[in-house]
Amino acid sequence: MARNAAGSNDSTPEGAGSGVPVHVGIIMDGNGRWATARNLPRVEGHRRGVEALRRCVRAARGLGIRYLTIYSFSSENWSRPLSEVSELMGLLKLFLRHDLAVLHRAGVRIKVIGERSSLAPEIRSLLEEAEALTRDNAGLTLVVAFNYGSRQEIAAAAAKIAAEAAAGRIRPEDVTVETISSHLDTAGIPDPDLIVRTSGEQRLSNFLLWQAAYAEFVFLPIYWPDFDEASLSAAIAEYQQRDRRFGGVTKRAGP
């Protein structure tokens, strides 16, 4: 499979991208196109996408990945046809109700990032229930980016910091990279080492813009419903070949 990439991450400043990445982010793209190519309704692509997510979580656990962030629903996805949004909400509810117990028994901890105040009470309650039930689990942390947009996340963090400065709790000159990171939805979660996007598209689409500053990128030409353990292993194998310099000089270079 042809893949392209660029980038690097500062969570493991050892240089080369050897070993299994601690944190993998995945932009699950191509459900609709997968269905269209098979003359199926788009919702069938989303259903098959849920099956791919189950495979991905199992594979991540088996490979020893500690954090897996999935871009499940962006803040821009509300602009899709109402019928499709309704189907997506239904699939989310189905996934949480049917898979939550399985994930909990497997020691998976669920963390949800994204704006919640505008969500329907039923959806918000399900997300909070998933987090509360799995809070003390010590296995894979599954970070669900739902109603998430990175620009909005950064703007909200800036607003919080501005409010603290106005209240005299922080001086503007003391605001650092760490200050901003600690006010993001992902506070306490290491930055992604690897970001994978399916469907062949090569862009972040408002996903983890701040956190991905030094991430490696692998773009797979397959649609998300076809993603499986072999796909994840192939992305990690490419990651392991990268020379991660973090702005410095490669260790492989001569004097």
The C-alpha atoms of residue 134 and residue 114 are separated, in whole angstroms, by 18
Cα–Cα distances in Å, from 48 out to 78, 93, 147, 200? 21, 15, 21, 18
Task: Give catalytic status of residue 147 as yes or no.
Answer: no
- CB of 65 within 8 A of CB of 25? no
Phi then psi for 188, rounded to 5 degrees?
90, -5
4, 10, 31, 77: the active-site residue: 77
SS percent in the chain: helix, strand, coil, step 5 = 45, 15, 40
Q: Is 77 a catalytic residue?
A: yes
* Closest listed residue to residue 243, CA positions, set 14, 25, 73, 48: 14
Do strands 109-113 and 67-74 pair parallel, antiparallel, or not at all (unpaired)?
unpaired
Residue of 29, 185, 191, 193 with catalytic role: 29
SS3 210: coil
Which residues form the catalytic set? 29, 77
